[in-house]
Amino acid sequence: MLNKIEYDSPVARITIDNEGIFIFKLKDTSSIYDIEEARSQYRFMNLHSEGKPYKAIIDTRGSLVLPTDAACDYYFEGNNFENIMALVVNSLPMKLLLGRMFRHENVPNSKIFKNDEDAYEWLLKKEF
């Protein structure tokens, strides 16, 4: 029996595909996306990437859950920006918010997409 590596919380579900890409799906929930949730997600991805840079698709479609300020600060302060992130967004408010946040923090190696196929293709072409 094959054990599937998975992180599952009230806020998000994270799996790893055959290429080693993290598939991070935000849930449609009213749960709080706080610093503890951000820490748990970071620990999961850091553990399963063995501390090495990784690629991830962050799929926000169907979700309006947003991290708290403390969770955002934790992400931006603790990220070495070697990881490559493809954000999949289908709502204009979320696209504007995430775009502004990532530009404001000057996050390299990230791009916003409308669909996961284009995001995945972009990730496969990117190198660390």
This model's pTM is above 0.75: yes
pLDDT tens per residue across span 48-97: 999 899 999 999 998 988 899 899 889 888 777 789 999 999 988 888 88
- Report pLDDT for 1: 46
- Report pLDDT for 3: 64
**Structural domain spans, the chain:** 6-125
In the block, residue with structure tokens 């995430």: 98
Distance between CA atoms of residues 52 and 106, nearest Å: 21
- Report pLDDT for 2: 56
Q: Indicate the CATH number of 6-125 among 3.40.30.10, 3.30.750.24, 1.10.10.10, 3.40.630.10.
A: 3.30.750.24
CB-CB contact of 18 with 4 (8 Å): no
- Report pLDDT for 11: 96
